[in-house]
Amino acid sequence: MRYIEPTRVKFLMIMFFATGSLGIIIGLSPVAGPQQTMIITFMGVINIGLGAFFAFLYLTQVKKDPDKRKKKKKTDKS
């Protein structure tokens, strides 16, 4: 899989966990109507799953090595 910057992965992970937990809380509270409780709770669980996926990516991705072909070589001129 392609390397993603850790700050982006952290941001996505936090956003999915936050929206998922908020969705579960609202879905299980009496604020939501009787028709929407199951759907909102299910969407919250999906967001928690996506947050877990991005947490897995964050913890397992290997740091990207710089491309040596693009690097200019320094010449020693005295």
Range of the domain at 49: 6-60
The answer to the question of residue 74 being in a domain is: no
Count of domains for the chain? 1
* pTM of the predicted structure, to 2 decimals: 0.76
pLDDT at 22: 95
pLDDT at 54: 94
Per-residue pLDDT of the chain (78 residues; tens, 9 = 90+): 788 888 999 999 999 999 999 999 999 998 888 888 999 999 999 999 999 999 999 999 888 777 777 666 667 665
The answer to the question of residue 11 being in a domain is: yes
Q: How far apart are CA 51 and CA 60, in angstroms?
A: 14
CA-wise closest residue to 55 among 16, 13, 21: 13
The answer to the question of residue 54 being in a domain is: yes
The answer to the question of residue 33 being in a domain is: yes
The answer to the question of residue 47 being in a domain is: yes
Q: How far apart are CA 57 and CA 47, in angstroms?
A: 15
The answer to the question of residue 32 being in a domain is: yes
Which residue's entry shows tokens 């604020």?
31
